């Protein structure tokens, strides 16, 4: 019998599928920080990940086997926060963190607010 993977339809469903309790708890906090920073943003699933739209895509986040990621969809925002991100693995559009070394919620809010501002321009 062949099983098909069904992507999550909602962020709640995405979070329910995270097996590791610590990682799920962290992702719930990330979600809350994003929603606080961008209360008008629409919560969607895009690329099988939680994402937030307001005048276009703002940010995505995801849990993986050994790390979590915040995808600000902006190299400029990552570059503008490089000092605060020095202890995290970053690339052009990704910030990686772990349950043991989480991205500070205040920094997540700052990044999301910067993305909202970018999308208004």
Interhelix angle for 105-120 vs 21-37, to 10°?
40
Mean per-residue pLDDT, 42-58 = 96
**3-state class (DSSP) for residue 53:** strand
Is the Cβ–Cβ distance between 18 and 11 less than 8 Å? no
2-6, 65-69, 73-77: range with lowest mean pLDDT: 2-6
Structure tokens at 105: 């919620």
pLDDT for res 6 = 87
Whole-number mean pLDDT of the chain?
A: 95
Question: Domains in the chain, ordered, with CATH?
Answer: 11-114 (3.90.1150.200)
């Amino acid at each position: 019998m062949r099983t098909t993977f069904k992507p999550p339809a909602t962020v709640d469903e995405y979070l329910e599928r995270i097996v590791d309790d610590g990682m799920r708890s962290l992702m719930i906090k990330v979600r809350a920080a994003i929603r606080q920073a961008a209360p008008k943003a629409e919560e969607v699933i895009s690329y099988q990940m939680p994402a937030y739209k307001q005048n276009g895509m703002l940010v995505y986040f995801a849990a993986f086997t050994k790390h979590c990621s915040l995808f600000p969809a902006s190299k400029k925002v990552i570059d503008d926060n490089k000092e605060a991100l020095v202890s995290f693995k970053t690339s052009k559009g990704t910030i990686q963190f772990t349950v043991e070394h989480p991205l500070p919620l205040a920094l997540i809010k700052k990044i999301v607010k910067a993305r909202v501002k970018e999308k208004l321009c």
